[in-house]
Amino acid sequence: MLSQFNQFLLNFSLLITSLLFAFLPLRHTERISADSPIRTRLVVGLIAGLIGGLLVLNSITYDGAKIDLRLVALVTAYYYGGWVSGGITMTAIIGARFLVTPPGVYEGLILATLICLALLVTASIYRRFAAQTFKDYLVLLGVGIGYSLPALYLLTDTFMRFLEMAFVYIIFNLFGGYVTYRFLQELRKHFQFVQTQQELALTDGLTNLANRRRLDETLAHYDQHGYAFSVLIVDIDFFKSVNDTYGHDGGDVVLRQLSHLLQHCSPDEALVGRYGGEEFVVLLPDMPLKEAVRLGETIRLACADQHFVFSTYPAFHVTLSIGAASSDQGETSFEVVQKADQSLYQAKQTGRNKVVGYSEE
């Protein structure tokens, strides 16, 4: 009995280690279910199939029976990816079972195939009436164990040996299933936490726009790949007077409302960010300078018409000065931003509340 427990522990360690590394490619995927895109379900099936195959190849042979944790991999595939993932995993497990089956001794292979098919059909029916909860995972695991026990009985020599192996099989599959489910749930929480922290590190806390770090990283990416783009640098005119009149809380309200306006006016592919203070940047991939200037004019007019509201003060207006430049006017993105900043300076020096596109003249 002790040797069987030791072998099961090795099988269990292989399961958890494989899960950790194999599911890393799916760490940014939203909640996985039978309604996920077919590509995601295929990947889940391939991963679970690989793990199931490895478990079979490292299974315990006992009186002609192959005892391992393949059932956990199979149920996990059914649970997350439906029949698509389950079918791929089943095929991989049967293929691995065939490889370890001695010639002419196919009883175990036939029984394993029948168990997989029965579980696939049962799981497909059960999923129509169940939610994706831990209880449903345990139900599928229990059904799989129930289907496996008669096969285990047929492949053992005596009833006492069957009871011995059944006890070990049930305990380890329930334990393996529980740990697998909890492990995957905690792994997803960890990945979501890391992703959230990464997003926060690239997001301006006040406006929820891209911060300077993200803008700089995007510009570096443009340089690396040679992407064409235009840039708008947007500055609020006389913002100091806004802070003096309405306080810093009023100034923050203006910054937040302006951030919403910039996002609303900009195309979906644009990256809108706060460069610092009252200065904003809009990166416009594949947009020539003339179109960028027109967009800047649209933003300027929309801002001039908008009523900014703070506390009990009457609604008020603010205006914008905007500088524009494009990637064909500089060798690097840094030079393009500098030229847009020069255009912004020109807009401020010539009366404010205007858009100026960079010109070599």
Residues designated catalytic? 278
The rounded distance, in Å, linking the Cα atoms of 301 and 319 is: 8
- CB neighbours of 116 closer than 8 A, spacing ≥ 6? 74, 90, 93, 94
Cα dihedral angle (75, 76, 81, 87), rounded to 10 degrees?
-50
**Tokens encoding 155:** 């492949």
The rounded distance, in Å, linking the Cα atoms of 193 and 189 is: 6
Beta strands per DSSP E along the chain: 60-62, 65-67, 229-236, 271-276, 279-285, 320-326, 355-357
Alpha-carbon distances of 156 from 104, 108, 145, 164, 195, rounded to whole Å: 18, 11, 16, 10, 50
3-state class (DSSP) for residue 289: helix
**Tokens encoding 277:** 């203070």
3-state class (DSSP) for residue 325: strand
3-state class (DSSP) for residue 62: strand
Contact 43, 85 (CB under 8 A): no
Q: Position of tokens 């979906």? A: 268
Alpha-carbon distances of 329 from 283, 332, 349, rounded to whole Å: 15, 9, 22
Cα dihedral angle (78, 80, 83, 87), rounded to 10 degrees?
-60
Q: Sheet containing 271-276: which strands, arranged edge to edge? A: 271-276, 279-285, 229-236, 320-326, 355-357
The rounded distance, in Å, linking the Cα atoms of 334 and 348 is: 21
